[in-house]
Structure 1
């Protein structure tokens, strides 16, 4: 397989172990040594660095005659960045792949100074061209979310509906959703009296009913992530129970699963399964691009923009340490009526 064959390649391409074995042995062994000694990288980050380095060295194989990385020049690495740009990577994707190679070079300079005293990081000083290729963030409105749920119910896509409502209710990531155990359907609800405002601004008391999951490893600075118990509502519990009822008895402890064609093997889904649901049926129903992280952004946005909750409510639900993270990256406001409108009044 060649990464560059005259056409723009699929941005999601992954290098297989078999393909990786065709790379120059020196480059391959140095990459493996680097990855084996990255104790400070989380279990989620390490595979991303591995993927980025593999893509680079396959490119080196195809475009620089598989030369040793210690002989690569700055201008040659610039060609690699140009190739990424033409291939259709986003700005952030290119920056990450540059960073993966850069940290690898720094590691070699520090750990192999005696063996390669003249080697220098060939990525230093090179800037990533701003391609402007970004996906516009357009969260699901409350009406769009309800319509998506209703359509999945109509089609009797019970597992997809359970995943959608759980992900939206908790605001969790796809890696967190796949850890959910089916035992949660037996958990008891927590009921609390809370005070809320009606449409006229009058305060009244109501019952808040929610559930807590078992401990789930969420994104965090440590190697194993941040352990949290996710909070979700009665609507999600309803569809989780429906899915387990339809699924029937099996030995797999996880909530979201895939089955073999004969139905005998049931195993935990991969994150790519959620991607496929979103890129396929969910996108078809909504009429625009849907991806797993969109539910997290939509939940935060709808809490603050449509339900007029304090940003701190979304912050706590999503598990951010700082409310600024929630505000800067997850609350997507409508700019149709911003303050600059006043510049066009008499």
Structure 2
């Protein structure tokens, strides 16, 4: 079990205080009513479930609304000692704080006047993780490996992510219906509640044909599935992350390069390669490259400065060219 989920256990969660699970279920309904994305709800629920499992083992399965500030502090200390990053701990704090705030606002259902999490400060953020960009050739190497191994679903995830520049959460929301007949996905929800469609091109459609033939017929709407036969079910959000980790191993096996990229690297790499003229889709479109304002629209950014921040810093290259270094 990874450090990220070191306290969670499905077996333990089944024994968690029913008042805790009832509160979580109420909170999930509240998030759905506010049209939070599936990925966001999944993350919040996972964080809270992990805490409830820890409380089962360490706080005698106490009802969360009866817990004191010291109980939460003890949990976050243990989470920190388990190796969780500051960003991870701060997100878990946010998940719990928001659920408790929901309880404090619902006076008819819960007698919880003060949210004790409000005064627990988050950890100082660590240095921003290095962004790893993949070249068009490196994407090709991974894709060709997956296709040769007939791992068509994983290949489609990579191809769709790279062509659309979509975030993992957005790609996770794509449905299978109509995928082969269009070049735009169903409407997905991105950050700050934005709704839009993701663009994709011929390679993703060709891979999708192979995938759908391999997958066969089922009544699952999601483009992404796990399991076989009667155990077949929609993939979870975390599944796409695990696929990405397997892509690291493939690239290392095929090239000897160990690059610690993550799902967001596909978005960075897509925008960068569209901008520098190396993205394979540009040949299909008959274009040399895409301008920054087009990339802003593709990435569904509100501000062009955000799009610029996704691209590699070129200051050193500009100076080298200017001074002939």
* TM-score category of the 2 structures, normalised to the smaller one: 0.7 to 0.9
Structure 2: 5+ residue stretches without partners = 253-257, 279-288
CA–CA separation in structure 2 for the residues paired with 1:269 and 1:29: 25
For 1:336 and 1:154, locate their aligned partners in 2 and report how far apart those are by CA, in whole Å: 39
Q: What is the CA deviation profile of residues 23-73 of structure 1, one whole-angstrom value per residue up to 9, with x for unaligned ones?
A: 334444444444444422514223322222222232223223333434433
Q: Say if 2:249 is the partner of 1:283.
A: yes
- Deviates most, 144-153 or 175-184: 175-184
The corresponding residue for 1:57 is: 52
Decide which structure has greater strand share.
1
> Who is 1:146 aligned against?
140
Q: How does 1:71-90 map to 2 (within 5 A)?
A: 71-90=66-85
TM-superposed CA distance for 1:16, in Å, is 5.8
The alpha-carbon deviation at position 97 of structure 1 amounts to 1.0
Query: What secondary structure does 1:230 align onto?
Result: strand
1:151, distance to aligned residue in structure 2 (A): 3.5
What SS is found at the alignment partner of 2:117?
A: coil
Aligned to 1:20: 13
Cα RMSD after superposing both structures: 3.8
Cα deviation digits, residues 124-147 of structure 1 (max 9, x gap): 333223373864320212232233
Q: Rate the CA distance shift 1:295–1:259 in 2: closer, same or farther, 3 A.
A: same
Match of 1:247 in 2: 214
* 1:85/1:129 contact within 8 Å kept: no
1:100 aligns with 2:90: no
Aligned residue number for residue 166 of structure 2: 172
Whether the 8 Å contact between 1:305 and 1:333 is mirrored in structure 2 is no
Q: How does 1:114-129 map to 2 (within 5 A)?
A: 116=111, 119-129=113-123
Once the two structures are superposed, residues 278-303 of structure 1 have per-residue CA deviations (whole angstroms, 9 ceiling, x without a partner) of: 22245332433343332122101222
Partner SS for 1:49: helix
- Following superposition, the deviation at residue 98 of structure 1 comes to 0.7
Other structure's SS at 2:272 match: helix
**1:113-166 residue CA offsets vs partner (Å, 9 max, x unmatched):** 99747x532223332233738643202122322332343345454443333222
**1:219 and 2:190 matched:** yes
The answer as to whether partners of 1:89 and 1:133 remain within 8 angstroms in 2 is no
Q: 2:105 aligns with which of 92, 105, 110?
A: 110
Q: Deviations over 1:244-267 (max 9, x none)?
A: 5x638535676555562xx78876
CA distance in 2, matches of 1:186, 1:70: 50
In the alignment, the residues of structure 2 paired with residue 248 and residue 62 of structure 1 have an alpha-carbon distance, to the nearest angstrom, of: 41
SS of the equivalent of 2:200 reads strand
Could you tell me the TM-score, scaled by structure 2's length?
Answer: 0.74
Q: Whole-Å Cα distance in 1 between the matches of residues 185 and 76 of structure 2?
A: 44
Structure number with the higher helix fraction is 2
In structure 2, what is the Cα distance between the partners aligned to 1:265 and 1:65? 34
Question: Contact 2:162/2:266 (CA < 8 Å) preserved in 1?
Answer: yes
Secondary structure (helix, strand or coil) at the match of 1:217 reads: strand
- Of 216, 222, 235, 2:203 maps to 235
Note the residue ranges of structure 1 that are not aligned, 5 or more in a row: 1-7, 188-211
Correspondences of 1:153-168 after superposition (within 5 Å): 153-168=147-162
CA distance in 1, matches of 2:126, 2:141: 32
Cα distance in 2 for partners of 1:9, 1:250 equals: 34
Residue 40 of structure 1: aligned partner: 34
